[in-house]
């Protein structure tokens, strides 16, 4: 049986212990635990790993930034959010930072968790079944996208870039997938931000989710389907 080296990140030691016990006997072997993103970064440097399974401990912008650095430092590492918070803003930020899955603790059995993680390791995005309703219900103040943005006239290439942005892909990844240069990706992204009146990648990702350009429409990027976690 293939063993995926897994690092667990949660501020609650008892929850980490419970999660480790749940994964015992599966194809996900816990090789390290951490209470903060900085600790997880050090564990990954020391132990390596195939999967980082985590809850956002403080849900601060610093957490998302460390997650981006972790992804940059460990090519091929899969990252999955395991949380009890239904938040469109958190989902969009997690995807923008490179998360491969977003799982709701209350929806998961042990079997569903393991199967969802297997799908992630196969290269699929795994998101909650309540995603569509969650995105629909994001208040304007939270999602940060203006009402007038629905009329944005995005080009086909700008749409392609936004779809991949929602999936947390870096400019380099987007360039490789679309067969264009990093500089061209930046041009399309800058143009998209202007058209939808977004000031950063996170606002653009939330806008894209709200307007059917992300995982909610089931057509994200042609790299394999976005799967539901339950």
Is pLDDT above 70 for 188?
yes
| Enclosing H/E stretch for 126 | strand 125-127
Q: Within this chain, do residues 149 and 35 fall inside the same structural domain, yes or no?
A: no
Highest-pLDDT range among 33-47, 92-106, 148-162, 202-216: 33-47
More confident residue, 107 or 59: 107
* Residue 172 domain-assigned (yes or no): yes
Instruction: State pTM to two decimals.
Output: 0.62
Q: What's residue 44's pLDDT?
A: 95
Mean pLDDT over 200-229 rounds to 57
Q: 83: pLDDT confidence band, cut at 50, 70 and 90?
A: confident
Tens-place pLDDT, residues 209-220:
777 775 433 333
Is pLDDT above 80 for 55?
yes
* Residue 188 domain-assigned (yes or no): yes
Which of 66, 142, 136 minimizes the C-alpha distance to 99?
Answer: 66
Q: At what angle do helices 156-166 and 182-196 cross, to 10 degrees?
A: 90
| Enclosing H/E stretch for 228 | strand 226-228
More confident residue, 224 or 64: 64
Q: Within this chain, do residues 8 and 71 fall inside the same structural domain, yes or no?
A: yes
CATH number at residue 121: 3.40.50.2300
Question: What count of other Cβ atoms lies within 10 Å of the Cβ of residue 150?
Answer: 11
Q: Within this chain, do residues 128 and 163 fall inside the same structural domain, yes or no?
A: no
- The structural domain count of the chain equals 2
Q: What's residue 92's pLDDT?
A: 74
Question: What count of other Cβ atoms lies within 10 Å of the Cβ of residue 86?
Answer: 17
* Residue 225 domain-assigned (yes or no): no
Q: What's residue 129's pLDDT?
A: 60
């Amino acid at each position: 049986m293939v063993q995926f080296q897994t690092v667990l990140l949660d501020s609650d030691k008892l929850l980490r212990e419970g999660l480790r016990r749940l994964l015992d006997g599966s194809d996900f072997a816990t090789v390290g635990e951490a209470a903060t993103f900085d600790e997880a970064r050090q564990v990954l440097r020391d132990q390596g790993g195939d999967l980082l399974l985590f809850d956002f401990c403080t849900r601060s912008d610093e957490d998302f930034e460390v997650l981006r650095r972790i992804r940059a430092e460990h090519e091929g590492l899969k990252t999955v959010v395991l949380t009890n918070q239904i938040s469109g803003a958190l989902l969009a930020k997690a995807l923008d930072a490179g998360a491969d899955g977003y799982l709701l603790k209350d929806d998961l059995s042990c079997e569903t968790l393991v199967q969802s993680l297997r799908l992630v390791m196969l290269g699929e995005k795994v998101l909650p079944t309540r995603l569509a309703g969650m995105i629909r219900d994001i208040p304007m103040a939270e999602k940060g996208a203006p009402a007038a943005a629905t009329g944005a006239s995005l080009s086909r290439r700008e749409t392609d870039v936004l779809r991949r942005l929602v999936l947390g892909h870096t400019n380099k990844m987007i360039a490789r997938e679309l067969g264009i240069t990093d500089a061209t990706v930046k041009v399309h992204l800058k143009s998209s931000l202007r058209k939808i009146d977004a000031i950063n990648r996170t606002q653009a990702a939330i806008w894209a989710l709200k307007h059917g350009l992300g995982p909610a429409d089931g057509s994200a990027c042609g790299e394999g389907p976005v799967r539901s976690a339950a």
